[in-house]
Amino acid sequence: MIDIANRLCEAVEEFIKLHSKEVNWKHRSAPGKWSAIEIIGHLTDSAVVNLHRFVRCNYDDDFTLNYLQNDWVKAQHYHEADIDELLSLWQLLNHRIIIVWRKFPVERLQAKCNGQTVENLGKDYLAHLRHHLNQIVHLKAGN
């Protein structure tokens, strides 16, 4: 999990650098699609849920923890949120995930949530984050 934690740390730093560049945070690529700020909100929700999963995998096994991503984004009104506040929250949540991963007990790596081992959940979490980072790069400056 240490390697995945290091890669997450790099991805978070890369994401934060985007904030200093020209990003049209409210632009939607098409009607009904999430804006860049809503994508950040979604990633914040994902961090909340996954932090719970990773912590619980320390002591529990074979449990399910899901959430309705579109409903979470809508209920939290991310499109009207302050980007600085949202990025800070997202960054802090990921910092906690990195700490949990770096100290994760090796004997618990096969613990399962939603039918996946914690190690695979970590890899999927990182891939999901990178996917959305690429989406924001494409939304940059309203493109």
Our CA dihedral for 94, 105, 114, 124, rounded to 10 degrees, sits at: 50
Q: Which two tokens stand for residue 35?
A: 């804006």
Read off the DSSP letter of residue 68: -
What's the total number of domains in the chain? 1
Token pair for residue 24?
């049209």
pLDDT for 96 equals 98
Contact partners, residue 117, CB within 8 Å, separation at least 6: 109, 110, 111
pLDDT the model gives residue 143: 54
CATH number, domain at 72?
1.20.120.450
pLDDT tens, the chain, 143 aa long: 899 999 999 999 988 877 666 788 898 888 999 999 999 999 999 999 999 999 999 999 999 999 999 999 999 999 999 999 999 999 999 999 999 999 999 999 999 999 999 999 999 999 999 999 888 887 775 55
For the entire predicted model, the pTM comes to: 0.92
Domain limits at 43?
A: 2-142
| Predicted pLDDT at 40 | 95
